[in-house]
Amino acid sequence: DPSDQQLLSLLANIYAGSLEKHAPKIPKGTRDFSPEQMAIREVAFNIITNVFKRHGAVTIDTPVFELKETLTGKYGEDSKLIYDLADQGGELLALRYDLTVPFARYLAMNTDVHKLKRYHISRVYRRDTPNMSKGRYREFFQCDFDIAGEYDPMIPDAEVLMVMTEILDELPLGNAYEIKLNHRKLLDAMMEVSGVPAHKFRTICSSIDKLDKEDWATVRREMVDQKGISEEAANKLGQYVGDENKARLRSLGPLEMLAWLKGQNVFGGNAKAAQAFADLTILFEFLTAYGILKKFSFDLSLARGLDYYTGIIYEAVLTSGTTSVGSICGGGRYDDLVGMFDRTGRKIPAVGVSIGIERIFNILDKVLRESGMIRKTETLIMAMCHKDAPTAAPLELCAELWANNIRAEHGHTVVATNKDYKRMVDLVRDNAIP
């Protein structure tokens, strides 16, 4: 009978659907951490936290979501990547996109806090196209270190960069990284001098930022053909970030690059450029005192996209031979962000760095597995129960061990046969219990 057939096929579909429904899956772009991966994560966090604490930083925590309006207008073109929560009645919420904006919101809310050197290790969320092999997830950790408050010029900036290099050196990355440094005001000056209209600064910045992957000719074409700046403006920009800049970078350290830019007077009398040069002159003195200036390259083509930067900006990329395998950390100075949240317009200048940990996990995972250094548990003693003894006997033993704060486990099953015993011994060995 056809209607029976239809009914059967309908039921079969529902059944298949319900199986489908129960197939266990994890959201796209996210990951679980197994016990082994947690052990690796702890190694990385310990290295990083130790540096933060060595510099006297305290830590804070903020909620995983913020009011939607807190995040609005802070991330430029990347705002489309923000995860919104559903409107279930009540406030409009969104998952945090970074730890910097919540930090600024925290400072603006805590009006008794005028200075804060804090670190914050937590997860952030971006609806980006995931690429797990490159360590690009939709939920990922950031390890942030920021110094907020009024200080003598460039003192906090230099310390943030010191923290960054200490971490890069203490992680087992084999020194295979390079750090680019630039100044937001130099980017603005470059645009002004080249005659780029003010409303196109942001979009031209994001073209310039592609110069680490694409050549000048390609980026230049994008600026003229797609973003509509004049040939003349593009040529002028080329004086700063074109192929000659690449060649200069290979031969000039930060001090020489700064001297060359000042000497050539390529920015004319532009006021923003003058401010940036003054900042960088002091900064390079301090980085010399710290002994880390040689780790930096002063690169006019570094143009990090976030809206809130106002001073120096920097980014470290991991390198394999001469090729970059992706950004590992970055940051900058953001003097106006706290003020954006403050009703009274109170400003707190701040500078910070954000370390992405996902690529580091992959590297540490490889290093630690090869060295056989991963241990998931810290159990010292395994109590077993023989079939002729009362079941509760190992429980009493364990209770005594635990009471003396000794890490112990019992077998959770009665040892009745040699096979049982062998299984227990395997368990002990698998968990590296001494």
Q: Which of residues 272-301 bind its own copies (CB under 8 A)?
A: 285-286, 288-291
Nearest to 361 by CA among 145, 136, 119: 136
Closer residue to its own copies in complex, CB, 195/390:
390
Which of 153, 307, 305 is closest to 315 using CA atoms? 305
Residues numbered 163-192 forming contacts with its own copies, rule: CB under 8 A: 166
Of positions 343, 370, 388, 429, contacts its own copies by CB under 8 A: 343
Asked if residues 433 and 424 have their Cβ atoms less than 8 Å apart, the reply is no
Residues in CB range of 136: below 8 A, 6 or more apart: 128, 129, 130, 358
- For the bound state, the minimum distance from the C-beta of residue 30 to its own copies, rounded and expressed in Å, comes to 4
Report d(CA 122, CA 138) in Å as an integer.
13
Site pattern 138..157 for its own copies (x: CB under 8 A): -x-------x---xx--xx-
Nearest CA-CA partner of 281 in 183, 171, 142, 151: 183
Q: Which of positions 50-89 make contact with its own copies (CB under 8 A)?
A: 50, 53-67, 69-70, 83-88
Minimum distance between the CB of residue 246 and its own copies, rounded to whole angstroms? 31
Task: Please identify which residue in the block is written with the tokens 């298949």.
Answer: 16
Q: Taking the complex as a whole, how short is the minimal distance between the CB of residue 181 and its own copies, in angstroms?
A: 18
| 358 counts as binding its own copies under rule CB under 8 A | no
User: What x-and-dash track marks residues 386-405 binding its own copies by CB under 8 A?
Assistant: -----xxx-xx--x--x--x
Which residues, 6 or more positions from 132, have their beta carbon under 8 angstroms from its beta carbon?
Answer: 31
Map tokens 């996109």 to a residue. Answer: 97
Q: How far is the CB of 84 from its own copies (least distance, A)?
A: 4
Instruction: Give the separation between CA 250 and CA 178, rounded to whole angstroms.
Output: 12
Mask for 1-20, x = binds its own copies (CB under 8 A): ------------------x-
Query: Given the DSSP bridges, would you call strands 312-320 and 177-183 parallel, antiparallel or unpaired?
Result: antiparallel
How far is Cα 384 from Cα 394, in angstroms, rounded to an integer?
6
The span of 120-128, 185-193, 206-214, 232-240 binding its own copies (CB under 8 A) equals: 120-128
Q: Report if residue 378 touches its own copies, rule: CB under 8 A.
A: yes
Work out which of 1, 3, 5, 25 binds its own copies, going by CB under 8 A: 25
433 backbone φψ class: left, alpha, beta (φ>0; ψ -120 to 50): beta
Pick the stretch among 189-197, 260-268, 295-303, 371-379 that binds its own copies (CB under 8 A).
371-379
